[in-house]
Structure 1
Amino acid sequence: MTTIVITGKQPGKTDVTISSTVNPAIKTVVPVTVLSRNLLSYGPASGNGLTATVNSDGSLHITGTATGQWRGVSWTFPCPVQGTVNLSGTGAAGLSFNVKCLDAKGQQLGASMNLGNRVVEIPAGTVSLYLNVISNESTPTLKESDIRIQLESGDTAHDWMRPDNTSLRGGGQ
């Protein structure tokens, strides 16, 4: 069996036409949906003094002053892949982000993914991912920042891409 891999440059819907090389009159059109390489899901959230909104480009806008160190906003969503993943992103001074793998009972599996250990293997039994954006300051200060976080399959970080789901409601962590 032959494998066909189609990589799109932008998320969205398109068609692929497959034609016979023997008889070009024989062809079929296959609808294709190109998904973002960014596997994260997030959206508006508020809690622990921080508020997250989604900018028009899909990045997160974080405002407010966290109620304490390691406090912030979070989102939980189904794990879309297994295997090796890479976490990358740009943030703001005083803010950190990480992703945790959770089992069916909501218990953490393996280590948190952060920029210090950004290439990891999704542990067996992972059913959901937990993304959080938190203050890393011992005395949190006012934030007004845009951040771009990306989780993608493989061990190579690519340019940031808007996630497919930017309407997932989050809350405080």
Structure 2
Amino acid sequence: MRNPFTKTYTEAELQTFDFLRLIKFFEKLKNKEMERFLPAMHFRKYTKDEVVFFSKDPSQALYLIKKGQVHLTIDVKDNFETILEVNKGQAFGENAFLQNSKRIYTAIITSDEADLIVIPHFAIQEIFDSNPKIKAKIMTALAEFYNENNQRLFRSYRESFGFFSLRQMFE
């Protein structure tokens, strides 16, 4: 028998929770924890070649892709080199979880159009401040995400030995 004190969610809210569960940073959150993000979510439409943010911009929001494709690029001698393609059900701008961070890549829409959910940094921080368990789960997922990126970086370095020096990372 259902507990009469258990909160029920609308079909739209349940669909949003199912979508959020696809994204690494939210996959371990319970519905009542994800619910905290609902009022902070803004839906934005973008068109092809629109820049979502530039490298070195302040990290003011996390972006979740509902529809479309985004290329994350780095500036290499006046050119944009794509480092990652992100698609539906993925997130980018993850350093918005951190305090006082700047973007390390430029995000450009590459599909004809894209529907993104935008969660502002200040809203994330308010949720973190009042919900240490949510913060712990998301920061653990962020650490795992960065660890996976480091493993890919080091594998790439081993496979292309001689083209750059890892020592430069720490200088």
TM range (shorter): under 0.3
Q: Which has the larger radius of gyration?
A: 1
Larger helix proportion of the pair: 2
Q: Which structure has more RCO (C-alpha within 8 Å, separation ≥ 6)?
A: 1
Normalised by the length of structure 1, the TM-score is: 0.27
